Amino acid sequence: MANSKVSSAEHEKPNKHLPERNVKNEAIIVSQAVGMLLFGAVMVGWLANPFLVIPLFFVPPLFVAYLSFIALLFVEGVVVLKQYRRVDRYRQRITALSVILLLPVFTVIFNTLAAAATLLHAYDIVYIAKLLTSPWVLLGLFVVAAVGLLYLWRLLRLPDRLYWEPLPVSSLSKTQHKQQERGLRLQRIGFGLFSIPLAIAIAISFAVSQIMVGPDSGFGGSAIFNYASLAFLCAGIPCIVAGLMCFAKSEM
């Protein structure tokens, strides 16, 4: 925090109790925002699934709610990333983002469990995993995530937002300037690493959507979706972890 200052979102106001920057919380919030965008990309891919879309067409309010949910995921995810330098309400924002991500995390864990159990021919575990990802369970988690989205929107719109800003070069020594440049560079690398799983998720979502509307729909499409989830975990999770480490080490 030595090489940064805190400023108000609206006006510069003197405050003796300005919150300090917390790079670990900042890293968590950025990774969660990327998770929201990943979740939104997957939900867009699900729109190509006739087993999901056709029932929604017969219940217009649900279809509108689904599209609104996707829109909020993308809008709020982008806004959270734009506000990544905020130093206020770390815990509230992390809590709201965690509630939103309960649904995708729960789904990925049990789809991965089902895929691994299928490979091991442990069909009892597959059955349990399918029960835990039943439509009623997912609907309940969907409602919980919607509440989290509304709460996060309120936090993002608060007028008393506070941000940290890099100090001007003229006020820094050579050592401090190098430290600040290193921190900013690590943040750029972190954003680059976070973009990799997002690109993978979009590609997988598109591929799976094509499978669902093609001749391999049904059991075959479901199996390929499970294997795609495993592939994402192998390729995307390391990038997310590396991005988290870059942000956590970007202290200035």
DSSP tag of 252: -
Judged against a pLDDT cut of 50, whether residue 140 lies above it is answered with yes
For the chain, give the percent of residues with pLDDT over 90: 16
pLDDT at 96: 94
List pLDDT tens digits, range 30-51. 889 988 988 888 788 777 766 6
Q: What pLDDT shows up at residue 100?
A: 93
Per-residue model confidence (pLDDT) at position 12? 44
Span of 67-71, 119-123, 189-193, 219-223 with lowest mean pLDDT: 219-223
pLDDT band at 170 (very low <50, low <70, confident <90, very high): confident
**Percent with pLDDT over 70 in the chain:** 69
Contacts of 202 (CB under 8 A, 6+ apart): 41
36: Cβ contacts below 8 Å, ≥ 6 apart? 73, 74, 76, 77, 80, 97, 100, 101
Q: What is the pLDDT of residue 116?
A: 67
Confidence of residue 11 (pLDDT cuts 50, 70, 90): very low
Cβ(248)–Cβ(29) under 8 Å?
no
Q: List the domain boundaries for the chain.
A: 4-9+21-248
Q: What is the mean pLDDT of the chain?
A: 77
Separation of alpha carbons 193 and 187, rounded Å? 10
Mean pLDDT lowest among 39-53, 153-167, 199-213 = 199-213
Radius of gyration of the chain (CA): 21
pTM of the prediction? 0.75
Lowest mean pLDDT among 2-6, 92-96, 107-111, 230-234: 2-6
Q: What is the mean pLDDT of residues 45-67?
A: 77
Checking 221-226 for CB contacts under 8 A at 24+ apart, the result is 223/115, 223/118, 225/111, 226/111, 226/112, 226/114, 226/115, 226/118
The confidence score (pLDDT) of residue 105 equals: 83
